[in-house]
Chain A
Amino acid sequence: MVELKNEILKLLKEDARRGPDLIATMLNVEQADVIRAIDEMEKDHVIVKYAAVVNWSKVSEEKVTALIEVQITPERGRGFEGIAERIYLYPQVKSVYLMSGDYDLLVEVEGSTLRDVASFVSNKLSPIDSVLSTKTFFILKKYKQDGIIFEEHEDDHRLPISP
């Protein structure tokens, strides 16, 4: 079952719109088993969501994204959890990672303008008590995200018929 689930996850990561019938054929298993495995993974929050990967730079609505390195003082008893939660609950925060190295949290913030992001950092993030320092890096271009290459659209260079 664990192996089947892994195989299903790989196929869904490639294309989340693949249905259980197609997946069952590709993996040579019963459709009912695929449905059951997917149900379980949805319930267990292994599959968290089926969402489109969007290249926003191709959409007229431009977005500004920044990665912010945040140094914090951990709280007694709760470590980084409480402070991470206070940060990730903001809707403009797209991801938060606890990091090893020079800083503690890596926070990805999205806004519609540079000023939006700047004001989030100065008005929301920095004033939090345990936040010691922040360093903001604006993203200029996304080449690849989550294993998916954005810009390059690879055409099939093969001859249409070959022996």
Chain B
Amino acid sequence: MMIKDEELKTSLPGQRSSMADYLSPMARSIKPSGIRRFFDMVSESKDGDIITLGVGEPDFVTPWHVREACVYSLERGKTQYTSNAGMPELREAISGYLSDRFNVAYDPANEIIVTVGGSEAIDLALRVLINPGDEILVPEPCYISYSPITALSGGIPVGIETFAKDDFKLTAESLQASITPRSKVLVLCYPSNPTGGIMTYEDWLPIAKVVEEHDLIVISDEIYAELTYGSNHVSFASIPGMKDRTILVSGFSKAFAMTGWRMGYVCGHLELISAMLKVHQYTVMCAPIMGQVAALEALTNGIDEMKKMIDSYNQRRRLVVRGFREIGLECHEPQGAFYAFPSIESTGLSSEVFAERLLKEHKVAAVPGNVFGKGGEGFIRCSYATSVAQLTEAIERIGKFVHSLKS
């Protein structure tokens, strides 16, 4: 997202004719997310019969013991600031959890910050790393915020296309091909939103080699780490030699069904974390204490319940993948997150047109793949974090639509 010269001109006093003229060129250059248009379309529809597969969050409510722990803490008057980096006992718990489950060790005293969702963690990491003009490599299709946040810091996002034939894995060749002398950061998001792709230990090794060769630093957004099916998640930070080069971003939203709490965390090398802590303390001070108390309860007593939720996603994952294949849509098998990413190329429609007509004519909302960047065109993202009954009905409706297009 390069800013043109004329856009960079800030209008001077006396020359401003509208409120927009007060805005910084940066604010003006940021485009609203492509998802927004779809959100408006679905929200404005008065039709109550719409089934939405467009939701990027669990269909579970936060488990009661977690909510109850928060309510209890409020009753006890826990309403204050916490230390900037987050409650020490929560950082201890995060450290223990990451080491138990993903074999990565971070010192709770100075290598972990509790953030306002994974989103803040991504923002912090990009802000402390980017020098204007730095190129930030982002495998796509991917979550929609990396590129705009990069641009906000003056960085240049460089998309690296990934493909269904590779199960949307990042390959060393395509990474290598995108590197220039200005490349500085590689942003990873595996398991992937929107594709459901994952990276195994063997997949990571050649990537790690390229990262080392080109002295890149990695921001690894592992928010879907718990949601892998058939194999355990491999953190990029756990690859030999990569821990100091990796800023690990994660949170409680997806695994513990805690999206609205906005509880995330970022872990990394002491020097990087202390820079992030400065930004964090001036911008948000600390993550809300209510959420921190709940997150601590989730880590302490919520692992079993979390595993049940993951079993349930896995059952629904099998259902939708089979469903899409049966109605004649190619669908690579997603191994993580809770999205299927079927190809709609065979229908001859673009992602946008397909999704728009699917919504208007058959009352199913899905997100067109092109909003997720390079390589997303020709696909739709369908979340299977929805009831079995709704999924079955949605696939039937999509099937009718696909059939009508092909006959």
B is a partner of A: yes
Seen from chain A, the residues whose Cβ lies within 8 Å of a Cβ on chain B are: 11, 15, 18, 22, 25-28, 154, 156, 158-163
B52, CB-defined interface residue at 8 Å: yes
A interface, by DSSP: helix, strand, loop or mixed? loop
Interchain pairs with CB closer than 8 A, number: 55
Query: In the complex the two chains form, is A25's CB within 8 Å of B367's CB?
Result: no
Query: In the complex the two chains form, is A160's CB within 8 Å of B33's CB?
Result: no
- Rounded to whole angstroms, the CA-CA distance of A156 and B367 in the bound complex is 19
Query: In the complex the two chains form, is B55's CB within 8 Å of A26's CB?
Result: no
Query: In the complex the two chains form, is A160's CB within 8 Å of B318's CB?
Result: no
Given A25-B318, A25-B319, A25-B322, A161 and B144 contact (CB-CB distance below 8 Å): no
B56, CB-defined interface residue at 8 Å: yes
Please give, as numbers and ranges, the residues of chain B lying within 8 Å of A162 by CB-CB distance. 35, 39, 54-57
Query: In the complex the two chains form, is A154's CB within 8 Å of B61's CB?
Result: yes
- Rounded to whole angstroms, the CA-CA distance of A11 and B316 in the bound complex is 12
Which residue among A11, A15, A27, A161 has the maximum number of chain B CB atoms within 10 Å of its CB? A161
Query: In the complex the two chains form, is B315's CB within 8 Å of A163's CB?
Result: no
Query: In the complex the two chains form, is B59's CB within 8 Å of A160's CB?
Result: no
The proximity string for B residues 371-407 relative to A, scoring 1 for CB distances below 8 Å and 0 otherwise, is: 0000000000000000010001000000000000000
Query: In the complex the two chains form, is A160's CB within 8 Å of B43's CB?
Result: yes
Within 8 A of A (CB), among B341-396: 365, 367, 388, 392
- Rounded to whole angstroms, the CA-CA distance of A102 and B94 in the bound complex is 46
B143, CB-defined interface residue at 8 Å: yes
Sampled A-B contacts (27; CB under 8 Å): A11-B315, A15-B388, A22-B319, A25-B319, A25-B322, A26-B316, A26-B319, A27-B315, A27-B318, A154-B61, A158-B57, A159-B55, A160-B52, A160-B54, A161-B35, A161-B43, A161-B55, A161-B365, A161-B367, A162-B35, A162-B54, A162-B55, A163-B33, A163-B56, A163-B144, A163-B145, A163-B193
User: How distant is B365 from chain A, measured CB to nearest CB, in Å?
Assistant: 6
Please give, as numbers and ranges, the residues of chain B lying within 8 Å of A18 by CB-CB distance. 388
Within 8 A of A (CB), among B135-165: 143-145
- Rounded to whole angstroms, the CA-CA distance of A161 and B144 in the bound complex is 13
Please give, as numbers and ranges, the residues of chain A lying within 8 Å of B55 by CB-CB distance. 158-162
